[in-house]
């Protein structure tokens, strides 16, 4: 088996490394930026730096297109025009409907989307185990060649990923809700807060931990998100419409002023969050510990170290510095009641005040 990778950033580079290590397949690569291409060879992501798309694709059985979303359709189209008849061409873009609409009638094209690598970028961060255990969506169409699909999904499984077929439309709709919408909402909320504070006669130095958490992803990577929003605009806009509808109902509920009804709605949201996180984590119910701490260097370390030594994993963590920046709280999420109980004991042994948050 011979592979080609077009675009050798974090994802392309990691595909190359994983393929070389696990498939023992020779990997040719091309990148429009010669310096990136040179580095990709240097870090071991490629066997061969090709001088063109055609050169990279020559003799390849699988071609991975790993460019920014806005460039993917053209890139994959170019690859299809030079790839052999028995070559499967796939991509790694975060949205799938647009590219599948454009290329899905070619039996050799199968769209893909690995859920990995969102945390960083660049070939210097590439690694062979990036896809270990990661869901890798594939969006075949009725035109897709069965043998080509089989070859692709086997190769992905050998790279360590968990390939799963999904139609492009469902993919984009679900991603709109669980990934793209939170970014839209964070943007809107942070701008609304900034505007409220600008307009107010008061400076409000304490934005509050809830605003901090809810807006953490606001404004991240404008270019990438401009592309994603543009290529998934229908699903994202539809998800926003749904949020608008839900918010209207929430406003109505709150305006009515029925404390018990509001509390009930609030409890439902808490249950929904636990369901989501638990299905994601799979390590038993997720339990939140609140620890009151001095906000100084070393505190997080001390806590995390004590838990680490005891083999208790921290699934999620959030810091809440108090107004004086000298004290604060840390929330630790631990999977499973037994582990949470151990964690609570360990934290208290260190002399901290800690409690389990009511679920």
Residues 330-349 that bind a second copy (CB under 8 A): 331
Among 34, 197, 337, 348, binds a second copy (CB under 8 A): 197
Rounded least distance, CB 358 to a second copy, Å: 7
Among 84, 147, 276, 338, binds a second copy (CB under 8 A): 276
Indicate the residue among 158 and 315 with the shorter CB distance to a second copy: 315
Residues 143-182 that bind a second copy (CB under 8 A): 160, 162, 164, 166, 170, 173-174, 177-179, 181-182
Q: Is 4 in the site for a second copy (CB under 8 A)?
A: no
Q: Is 257 in the site for a second copy (CB under 8 A)?
A: yes
Rounded least distance, CB 201 to a second copy, Å: 7
Q: Is 211 in the site for a second copy (CB under 8 A)?
A: yes
Rounded least distance, CB 66 to a second copy, Å: 18
Q: Is 217 in the site for a second copy (CB under 8 A)?
A: yes
Residues 88-117 that bind a second copy (CB under 8 A): 115-116
Stretch that binds a second copy, among 22-30, 34-42, 75-83, 295-303 (CB under 8 A): 295-303
Among 23, 41, 277, 350, binds a second copy (CB under 8 A): 277
Contacts of 315 (CB under 8 A, 6+ apart): 277, 281, 283, 286, 333, 334, 335
Residues 49-88 that bind a second copy (CB under 8 A): 70
Q: What is the 3-state secondary structure (H, E, C) of the chain?
A: CCEEEECCCHHHHHHHHHHHHHHCCCEEEECCCHHHHHHHHHCCCCCEECCCHHHHHCCCCEEEECCCHHHHHHHHHHHHHHCCCCCEEEECCCCCHHHHHHHCCCCCEEEEEECCCCCCCCHHHCCCCCCCCCEEEEECCCCCCHHHHHHHHHHHHHCCCEEEECCHHHHHHHHHHHHHHHHHHHHHHHHHHHHHHHHCCCCCCCCCHHHHHHCCCCCCCHHHHHHHHHHCHHHHHHHHHHHHHHHHHHHHHHHHCCHHHHHHHHHHHHHHHHHHHHHHHCCCCEEEEEEEEECCCCHHHHHHHHHHHCCCCCCEEEEEECCCCCEEEEEEEEECHHHHHHHHHHHHHCCCEEEECCC
Rounded least distance, CB 123 to a second copy, Å: 11
What span, in angstroms and rounded, lies between the C-alpha atoms of 39 and 41?
A: 5
Q: Is 41 in the site for a second copy (CB under 8 A)?
A: no
Rounded least distance, CB 269 to a second copy, Å: 4
Indicate the residue among 42 and 264 with the shorter CB distance to a second copy: 264
Q: Is 122 in the site for a second copy (CB under 8 A)?
A: yes
Indicate the residue among 246 and 338 with the shorter CB distance to a second copy: 246
Rounded least distance, CB 197 to a second copy, Å: 7
Q: Is 234 in the site for a second copy (CB under 8 A)?
A: yes
Rounded least distance, CB 1 to a second copy, Å: 24
């Amino acid at each position: 088996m011979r592979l080609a990778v077009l675009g050798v950033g974090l994802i392309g580079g990691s595909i190359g490394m994983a393929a070389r290590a696990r498939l023992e397949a020779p990997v040719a690569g091309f990148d429009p930026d010669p310096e990136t291409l040179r580095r990709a060879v240097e870090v071991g992501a490629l066997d061969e730096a090709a001088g063109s798309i055609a050169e990279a694709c020559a003799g390849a059985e699988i071609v991975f297109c790993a460019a920014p979303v806005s460039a993917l359709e053209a890139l994959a189209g170019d690859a299809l025009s030079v790839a052999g008849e028995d070559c499967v061409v796939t991509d790694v873009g975060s949205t799938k409907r647009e590219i599948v609409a454009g290329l899905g009638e070619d039996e050799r094209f199968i769209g893909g989307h690995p859920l990995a690598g969102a945390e960083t970028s660049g070939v210097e961060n590439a690694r062979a185990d990036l896809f270990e255990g990661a869901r890798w969506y594939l969006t075949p169409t009725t035109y897709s060649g069965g043998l080509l699909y089989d070859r692709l999904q086997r190769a992905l499984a050998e790279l360590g990923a968990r390939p799963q077929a999904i139609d492009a439309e469902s993919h984009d709709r679900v991603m709109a809700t669980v990934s793209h919408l939170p970014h839209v909402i964070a943007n809107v909320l942070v701008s609304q807060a900034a505007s409220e504070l600008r307009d107010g006669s008061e400076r409000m130095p304490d934005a509050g931990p809830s605003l901090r958490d809810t807006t953490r992803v606001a404004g991240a990577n404008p270019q990438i998100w401009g592309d994603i929003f543009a290529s998934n605009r229908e699903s994202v806009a539809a998800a926003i419409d749904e949020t608008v509808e839900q918010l209207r109902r929430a406003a109505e509920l709150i305006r009515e002023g029925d404390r018990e009804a509001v509390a009930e709605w609030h409890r439902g949201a808490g249950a929904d969050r636990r369901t989501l996180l638990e299905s994601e984590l799979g390590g038993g119910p997720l339990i939140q510990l609140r620890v009151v701490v001095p906000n100084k260097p070393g505190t997080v370390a001390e806590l995390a170290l004590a838990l680490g030594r005891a083999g208790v994993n921290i699934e999620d963590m959030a810091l809440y510095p108090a107004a004086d920046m000298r004290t604060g709280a840390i929330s630790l999420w631990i999977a499973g009641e037994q582990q949470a109980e151990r964690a609570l004991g360990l934290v208290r042994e260190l002399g901290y005040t800690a409690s389990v948050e009511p679920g």
